[in-house]
Chains A and B, each alone.
Chain A
Amino acid sequence: MKVVVLGATSAIAQAAARIWAERGAEILLVARDPQKIAAVADDLRTRGAQVETLVQDLNQDHPGLLERAAPADVMLLAQGILGDPQRRDTDPDYAELVLRTNLVAPVRLLTLLAPHLRRGACIAALSSVAGDRGRAKVGVYGASKAGLDSMLSALRQRLGPAGVRVLTLKPGFVDTPMTAALPKTPLFASAAEVGAGVVRAVDSGRDGVVYLPWWWRFIMLVVKSLPERVFKRLTF
């Protein structure tokens, strides 16, 4: 099995990749930071994977990526930033950076790579429950994930007949470096737990939208069904 991990230093991506590594998978890691990608690669090699790395800022152009990634069985799209809430809400360039990282770059990557996936391959993309409805606390992050959800939904329709599955993965709160600044509540799941959920979703052979852990589906069902005049007064 060949797995391509885009945004390979993400905590959830690492957790999923460890499981694939124990199965002896061939893994291509793509990320920007050479030191971090080397640390992840060493870990996965020790656990049993054959690992290759490609150091690349995924917000920029993608020289060589298509050639290296081409025969993938699984493509895990994991790059993303939450962003500093204060800057996100006041600095236009920073707001754009969140959009570029979480939406523009993923759309470019999907556009580049999806047409070359073979029948039976699977695209698994990390979105977020935050994409389900815009909230003050997530701001443009939620908007970027809503955009990604829409793109993935379109791809699912387009690639279904070609035998390529598209999974929209929606974790809730996950205890990772991304959420280090948030106070930890009982709603938080560990990266290991969510990573295992990612692998389970890929193993299931299904496509569609998967909440991680699963009970977020019901929380978000309620959140989505609130009338706007009620929702706008909420502060969560």
Chain B
Amino acid sequence: MTESWGRYPQATHAREVPLAWRAALLLPATRPLLAYGQGRSYGDSCLNDGGTLLRTAGLDRFVSLDPQSGILRCEAGVTLGEILRLVVPRGLFLPVVPGTKHVSVGGAIANDIHGKNHHRAGTFGGHVRRLELLRSDGQRLELGPGDELFAATIGGLGLTGLITWAEIALRPIPVAAVRTEAIPFAGLDEFLALSDESDGQCEYTVAWLDVFSSALRGIFFRGDHAPGSPRAPRARAAVPLEMPVVNGATVRAFNAAYYAAQKLGGRARLQHWDSFFFPLDAVSRWNRLYGRRGFLQFQCVVPTREALREILRDPPPSPLTVLKRFGAIPSPGTLSFPRPGFTLALDLPNRGEETFAHFARLERLAIDAGGALYPAKDARMSKEAFARSYPRLPEFARHLDPGFSSSFWRRVTQ
């Protein structure tokens, strides 16, 4: 059964077609198509209920790498982890990485992903120089910044056609370790002060929040590439089967323990890039901890501190809550999610109506404040919310490939 990372909603696909060669043509299709890479979108933007999935994991070849200029060209199914494995020993790094390295390049572009350095580097799409788009009518288009269809494809949720390859500008890093600081804080004011202080100095910043603590305590992480060779993370643990262990008590205990551990760990340390950027990758298939019904993530961006304060006044019991300030670098995609303000992500186990009610309330708060929700994480957004928070939707719709669609797209537009 092909699922998204949150495992909600479930979808039944009429066909799944593994793609192996970027030069191959798409077969004539009677049902809507959608590319599916690593399935790391949380909701239904990577699903196509009743339609056909084009599985891109087999498009996993590099095309070229110029170590001098740091220009990498690769097929769309290559994962960011594979890229890092290739380029870190050559003194290069991806300009933007999300919270997991197990996403494909095609997915990173289609969701115009962001990372802990958004305030410095903007989104992933801003570092894409060229890409090839294969449309359902057989047209093969090479696109770049300046093309309207390129802008629609960045953050375009896979709806403008199939990305077959892309060219990315990597950044040189003389050193592969990360010097990090973990700073405990209590309350939003302290978070804001730390953000003000750190975003100017540090390449990477993000905060973790314990929503169960009355004072809204948390840990502010900041980091920069630095010399050193700390040990790579040890062999990964895995969650071998359904283990529904996420509940009120375990979540409360986990948050308290995590806070204590970070506080005890000391402020400054030298970390391997893998464990700094991708701590959750240490446990493969961690989504199974939420059991068969899966979980949902609410990720929004709101423009002001007041709006953020309002949303955090009465947060739902989220096991993992992450907060970061986005910078002012404009996102390149017509439908890109990141915009100036604060982005907050909360995970909630799927308990049906009770959970959906939390989402509806949070959505209202975010959208009324002029914010937006992140399609890559979404399973619940209303049609109205989507239209209000993505004002360039009509412009985007002109570039849709009529042969492509997704469960998400049908849910928020029909």
A7 to B17, CA, bound (A): 23
Q: 8 Å CB contacts to B: which residues of A1-53? A: 11, 35-36, 39-40, 42-43, 45-47
Least CB distance, B214 to chain A, in whole angstroms: 47
Closest to A180 in B: B18
Given the known interface contacts A46-B86, A177-B58, the answer about A39 and B64 at a Cβ–Cβ threshold of 8 Å is no
A135 to B18, CA, bound (A): 26
Q: 8 Å CB contacts to B: which residues of A171-209? A: 177, 180
Check if A42 sits within 8 Å of B62, measured CB to CB.
yes
Least CB distance, B152 to chain A, in whole angstroms: 27
**Residue numbers in A under 8 Å from B61 (CB-CB):** 39-40, 42-43
Q: 8 Å CB contacts to A: which residues of B21-36? A: 21-23
**Residue numbers in A under 8 Å from B238 (CB-CB):** none
**Residue numbers in A under 8 Å from B58 (CB-CB):** 11, 177
Check if B63 sits within 8 Å of A35, measured CB to CB.
no
Given the known interface contacts A35-B23, A36-B23, the answer about A43 and B62 at a Cβ–Cβ threshold of 8 Å is yes
A47 to B90, CA, bound (A): 11
Closest to A21 in B: B62
Given the known interface contacts A42-B61, A46-B62, A47-B62, the answer about A11 and B86 at a Cβ–Cβ threshold of 8 Å is no
A177 touches which of B18, B62, B63, B74 (Cβ 8 Å): B18
B65 touches which of A11, A36, A46, A177 (Cβ 8 Å): A46
Interface residue? B20 (CB, 8 A) = yes
A145 to B285, CA, bound (A): 37
**Residue numbers in B under 8 Å from A35 (CB-CB):** 21, 23
Interface residues on B, range: 10 to 19
Closest to B66 in A: A46
A39 to B64, CA, bound (A): 10
> How many residues of chain A have a CB within 8 Å of chain B?
12
Check if A11 sits within 8 Å of B20, measured CB to CB.
yes
Check if B23 sits within 8 Å of A42, measured CB to CB.
no
Check if A39 sits within 8 Å of B18, measured CB to CB.
no
A39 to B62, CA, bound (A): 8
A47 to B23, CA, bound (A): 21
Least CB distance, A116 to chain B, in whole angstroms: 31
Contact bitstring A99-117, B, C-beta under 8 A = 1, else 0: 0000000000000000000
B22 touches which of A11, A39, A45, A177 (Cβ 8 Å): A39
Given the known interface contacts A47-B86, A177-B58, the answer about A42 and B21 at a Cβ–Cβ threshold of 8 Å is no
Least CB distance, B12 to chain A, in whole angstroms: 15
Q: 8 Å CB contacts to A: which residues of B1-60? A: 17-18, 20-23, 58
Least CB distance, B78 to chain A, in whole angstroms: 9
Closest to B78 in A: A43
**Residue numbers in B under 8 Å from A42 (CB-CB):** 61-64
Least CB distance, A24 to chain B, in whole angstroms: 12
A36 touches which of B18, B21, B64, B86 (Cβ 8 Å): B21
Check if B21 sits within 8 Å of A46, measured CB to CB.
no
A58 to B16, CA, bound (A): 31
A36 to B22, CA, bound (A): 9
**Residue numbers in A under 8 Å from B18 (CB-CB):** 177, 180
Closest to B60 in A: A43
A177 to B24, CA, bound (A): 13
**Residue numbers in B under 8 Å from A46 (CB-CB):** 62-65, 74, 86
Least CB distance, A35 to chain B, in whole angstroms: 5
Least CB distance, A80 to chain B, in whole angstroms: 15
Least CB distance, B268 to chain A, in whole angstroms: 34
A42 to B20, CA, bound (A): 15
Least CB distance, B89 to chain A, in whole angstroms: 10
Contact bitstring B69-87, A, C-beta under 8 A = 1, else 0: 0000010000000000010
**Residue numbers in B under 8 Å from A39 (CB-CB):** 21-23, 61, 63
**Residue numbers in A under 8 Å from B64 (CB-CB):** 42, 45-46
Check if A43 sits within 8 Å of B63, measured CB to CB.
yes
A45 to B65, CA, bound (A): 9
Q: 8 Å CB contacts to A: which residues of B357-411? A: none
Given contacts A36-B23, A43-B62, 14 further A-B contacts (CB under 8 A): A11-B20, A11-B58, A39-B61, A40-B61, A42-B62, A45-B64, A46-B62, A46-B63, A46-B74, A46-B86, A177-B20, A177-B58, A180-B17, A180-B18
A-B contact pairs, 8 of them (CB 8 A): A39-B61, A39-B63, A40-B61, A42-B61, A42-B62, A43-B63, A46-B65, A47-B62
Which B residues are closer than 8 A to A by beta carbons? 17-18, 20-23, 58, 61-65, 74, 86
